[in-house]
Structure 1
Amino acid sequence: MRKKLATAAGALLTLASAVLAAPAAAQAEPQRTAQTGTAGAAQGGTRAGTPADTQAVPGFRVADGRLLDATGRDFVLRGVNHAHTWYPARTPQALKDIKALGANSVRVVLATGDRWAKNDTADVAGVVAQCKQNRLVCVLEAHDTTGYGEQAGAVSLSRAVDYWISVKDAVRGQEKYVILNIGNEPHGNGTSGVTPWTADTKNAIGRMRAAGFAHTLMVDAPNWGQDWSFTMRDHAAEVFAADPARNTVFSVHMYGVFNTAEKVRDYLNRFTSQRLPLVVGEFGDMHSDGDPDEAAIMSTARQLGIGYLGWSWSGNGGGVEYLDMATGFDASRLTAWGRRIFSGADGIQQTAKEAGVFGGDGPVTAGCAVGYRLSDWGTSFNADVTIRNTGTTTVKGWQLAFAFPGDQRLHHVWNAKAVQQGSEVRATHESWTETIPAGGSVSFGFSGSSTGANGVPAGFTLNGAACSVS
């Protein structure tokens, strides 16, 4: 079955035309088209990767169907998508905000130069550096393949491989930090999109390996990523076996096709039962092609240890602005979808663990005490915050959470990154303040505005553990 909403498709094409005529720095995302389908049958099992298969891999690797980081620890992607190629000037702050809200990874939209202005080697290297600075695993994807065979102007996976080879120097040696998503939603609907997916994907993986890429590779499903034909599900084992490195992860995009918990659970379980590595590379809380069951997506992903990357941080257009998590790229103005994915049940803040390559299996907390010195001038104020490690273990990487006691608004922050949701504030370290030695301390500060009475927050937690207030 195939469904395509003409109004959404028309909005996409109109916006895409405007994008092609726009300067690179101002380009806007030609977001989701509405593609959907029906359910189908089951498939048998296989084992995806063993430590012996992948022991020479220098960074992320797949072992027994699980994604491991460079330290050998299980790593579950918990993050969001950011449309870098249309909003490059927004990227530095966006990555800081995404990290401050608790994500361990970000999927970054890049362009090959075929449909949108190319993100060249220098630009890609800059994105990787910013991901590392913010301790985010960087999933890089080539977007020009979206809907190939159905969408006018979309290019093949082979063309995407040409792009990766052209920017190889940007990711060479970054296998510990970078996963390469070869092409976004590389086939549309219908026979023209479904039939060649397996061969095209196997060929793309083979060319990437022949070109010397040792990274974990991510491959998207056909049917605009939603795999309603079950082509990826039923041929994933074959594709995985074709990778000489046995280091490929599969990605499904869950929108209107996955509108019930039963459909979500069945699809995800088919992969885990075969020990095939899968992530939900995109999903939302609503869509023009139906109402995805985001609660089932997030809870089932947690239960099965499957990664997810929500779409998207900000900047959506073409009638799907409701998929923005932050209004106008402002982390202090999260939408209902933004609040749901970051702080809701089974959300990022509850389930994300930082990659071991950044210093461990997530931040470690010793005993802590917090000093909060307030300088109040009525409608504006400054606060100087000192975090003291009262334990015997070094803390490397931290997040301090607290709630303002009244109607205070955060403005500028120094020596940390911070975001505010309502009265709640989450501050995370900068690179120069990330380590708190045993018996030592770090300090940061911020300015803000207030109406009515001001005061010191009643309590603080450091990496989830309560601190004394000094």
Structure 2
Amino acid sequence: MSPRRRWGAALSALAVSAATFVVATLLTTATPAQAAGTGVGYLHTNGNKLVDSTGATVRLTGINWFGMETDNRTFHGLWSNQTWKSQIDHMAQLGYNTIRVPYSGDALKSGATATGINDYVNPDLVGNSPLQILDKVIAYAGQKGMRILLDRHRPSAAGQTPLWYTAAVSEASMIADWQMLAQRYAGNSTVIGGDLFNEPHAEGTDPSGTGACWGCGDTARDWRLAAQRIGNAILSVNSNWLIVVEGVSCPSGGSPNVWDSVPDDPMTCDWWGGNLAGAAQYPVQLNTANRLVYSAHDYGISVYDRQPWFKDASFPENLPAVWDHFWGYLYKNNTAPVLVGEFGSTLANPLDVQWLTKLMSYMGTGVNGISFTYWAWNPNSGDTGGIVSDDWVTVNTQKQNIVGPYLIAPVGSGATSSPTSSASTSPSSSTSPSASTSPTGGSGTGSCSVTYKVDSSWPQGFNATVTVRNTGTATVNNWVATLTLPSGVSLVNGWNATVTASGQTLTAAAPTWAPNLAAGASVSFNFQANGPSSPTPSGYKLNGVACSV
């Protein structure tokens, strides 16, 4: 996905330096990810599952944070009023346990400069190279119990290309970049591997084409063969990494003739990077066992409305069969793990709500579901927007309410573990923390008011938003809101604050990125609960002071 515009889908062809090889100091000090979040130590595969160094099943439920693949050569949003650490805190608190980091070869060059950084907010990044900033993000994410997946998004910052190399950026330089990164982070299990190349796709209107193919046997275009070469080169210097291989768009490397009077088979081509149908006959074969993860991308109608399955009369019930055909069969047949590396939408089209809801349900819940990284954290993704808005802090609750119930939070994030079944069924209850772990109130008291809204509900539970307004004349510092849940209602998950429960008392403590509530200001937090949505909670308080409803 381009950060500014979708560069086209598989059926839209008509609408359309080598880095210096530096062996850096090994970064081995990051806190390893912890059990029950993203596992312990390095990950490897076992059938269709990811397992950690103890053999426990792990599921990645993450998010994309792009920018390092662009002319800025570092994460976008560093220009905002939010610190880089607070953004990672926010991702973890919302429940995302993995960050997929797109980059291009330009960001890795000797002398590369990171731009678009608010030096006042992020003084610790002043003078840092793109790689040094990446080092810091990895180290801090590891402390949060998160994982990092690196993604070769483009050969250079110039833009996405059908093939993994260009006249100016060779496959050899790409391999050199990957080997440098694999050695740089060897011994640091926060970095779990590499997504070899983003969205290889077809090119031209001739079905034979000149773009990336799968199984065609042309070493210059066959992405499956290239993935084997690149993956094995990485594993030769770091055998612990996962090798993540995306699909293509059309197996032939050429787009179908969409204007022909006799249309092509609608199940021939998929989204860029989304078509893994050929992996059944032509699987990726690596020299190191249990390291291969297949990855697909999938998008909604607002990104490209001409995918044929969107026109089917049975939409959205037809979608699982589409996903089965292109990539889901690899998971269902226990062939290999599947990571849905990109999926997203503005949700401006109401049908996209159905698409996203169906996709989340299809990927499943709990540790045995399909792994994913949502596109994107960034609000400046032109075709999808982000989980956060333009201020890089306000959460898009419509998106988060759909994705949130499926997240498995990293240990130490401050978020409650997500449910183990989908919102269309009965989410399982979480163990409530003891009263001794509940946060204490900060300073500043006065008067307050509360607005409570049920965002969505199902027979066994609901999602709700609580908005607290400081109606006093002084700032409430380190705010803590409490409320009493009705009998028979239990907390499952919460976001936009540190949400915990002891008995029927739900406590929401200020997140690190918004600790204070100014006079006249409002703050909202969300929670998911098991039980009936009526009657509603009562006994609202802000730092111990009762609020009007």
Same fold (TM over 0.5): yes
Using the TM superposition, give the Cα deviation of residue 237 of structure 1 relative to its aligned residue in structure 2, in angstroms: 7.2
Residue 105 of structure 1: which of 58, 74, 98 is its match?
A: 98
Using the TM superposition, give the Cα deviation of residue 253 of structure 1 relative to its aligned residue in structure 2, in angstroms: 0.9
More strand by share: 1
Residue 323 of structure 2: which of 227, 246, 267 is its match?
A: 267
Using the TM superposition, give the Cα deviation of residue 235 of structure 1 relative to its aligned residue in structure 2, in angstroms: 1.8
Task: Report 1:62-141 matches (<5 A).
Answer: 62-85=45-68, 86=72, 87-88=74-75, 89=78, 91-113=84-106, 121-141=131-151
Using the TM superposition, give the Cα deviation of residue 372 of structure 1 relative to its aligned residue in structure 2, in angstroms: 3.5
Q: 1:413 to 1:105 in 2, by over 3 A?
A: farther
Using the TM superposition, give the Cα deviation of residue 111 of structure 1 relative to its aligned residue in structure 2, in angstroms: 2.2
1:310 aligns with 2:384: no
Q: CA separation in 1, counterparts of 2:130 and 2:107?
A: 12
Larger CA Rg, structure 1 vs 2: 2
Residue 375 of structure 1: which of 424, 444, 453 is its match?
A: 444
Question: For the aligned residues, what is the CA RMSD?
Answer: 4.9
Deviations 1:430-466 (A, max 9, x none): xxxx9xxxxxxxx9793212439x99x9x99899999
1:178 aligns with 2:192: yes
Using the TM superposition, give the Cα deviation of residue 306 of structure 1 relative to its aligned residue in structure 2, in angstroms: 0.8
Q: CA separation in 2, counterparts of 1:323 and 1:228?
A: 19
Does the CA contact (< 8 Å) of 2:144 and 2:412 recur in 1?
no
1:192 aligns with 2:211: yes
Q: TM-score, normalised by structure 2?
A: 0.56
Q: 1:58 to 1:314 in 2, by over 3 A?
A: closer
Secondary structure at the aligned position of 1:208 is classed as: helix
Task: Report 1:315-464 matches (<5 A).
Answer: 315-316=379-380, 320=382, 322-332=384-394, 334=395, 338-344=396-402, 347-348=403-404, 350-354=405-409, 365-368=432-435, 371-372=440-441, 375-376=444-445, 403-406=466-469, 426-428=496-498, 446-451=515-520
Residue 295 of structure 1: which of 351, 357, 365 is its match?
A: 357
Unaligned runs of 5+ in 1: 1-7, 13-28, 39-56, 380-400, 417-423, 435-442
Figure out how many residues of one structure are paired with residues of the other and give that number.
376
Q: CA separation in 2, counterparts of 1:212 and 1:150?
A: 21
More helix by share: 1
Equivalent residue, structure 1, for 2:344: 284
AA matched with 2:497: A
Deviations 1:7-48 (A, max 9, x none): x9xxx7xxxxxxxxxxxxxxxx4542122339xxxxxxxxxx
Using the TM superposition, give the Cα deviation of residue 364 of structure 1 relative to its aligned residue in structure 2, in angstroms: 6.2
Secondary structure at the aligned position of 2:276 is classed as: helix
Q: CA separation in 1, counterparts of 2:434 and 2:281?
A: 47
AA matched with 1:212: N
Unaligned runs of 5+ in 2: 13-39, 114-128, 204-208, 217-221, 251-268, 418-429, 449-463, 481-493, 501-508, 532-536, 545-549
AA matched with 1:197: W
AA matched with 2:90: D
Does the CA contact (< 8 Å) of 1:364 and 1:463 recur in 2?
no
Q: CA separation in 1, counterparts of 2:470 and 2:357?
A: 31
The percent identity for this pair of structures is 15
Using the TM superposition, give the Cα deviation of residue 94 of structure 1 relative to its aligned residue in structure 2, in angstroms: 2.5
Does the CA contact (< 8 Å) of 1:142 and 1:182 recur in 2?
yes
Does the CA contact (< 8 Å) of 1:81 and 1:106 recur in 2?
yes
AA matched with 2:285: A
Q: CA separation in 2, counterparts of 1:287 and 1:340?
A: 8
Does the CA contact (< 8 Å) of 2:247 and 2:273 recur in 1?
no
Q: 1:162 to 1:343 in 2, by over 3 A?
A: same
Deviations 1:354-406 (A, max 9, x none): 457999x9596432256435623679xxxxxxxxxxxxxxxxxxxxx994544
Q: TM-score, normalised by structure 1?
A: 0.64
Does the CA contact (< 8 Å) of 1:407 and 1:450 recur in 2?
yes
Q: CA separation in 2, counterparts of 1:121 and 1:63?
A: 32
AA matched with 1:62: T
1:222 aligns with 2:248: yes
Using the TM superposition, give the Cα deviation of residue 127 of structure 1 relative to its aligned residue in structure 2, in angstroms: 2.2
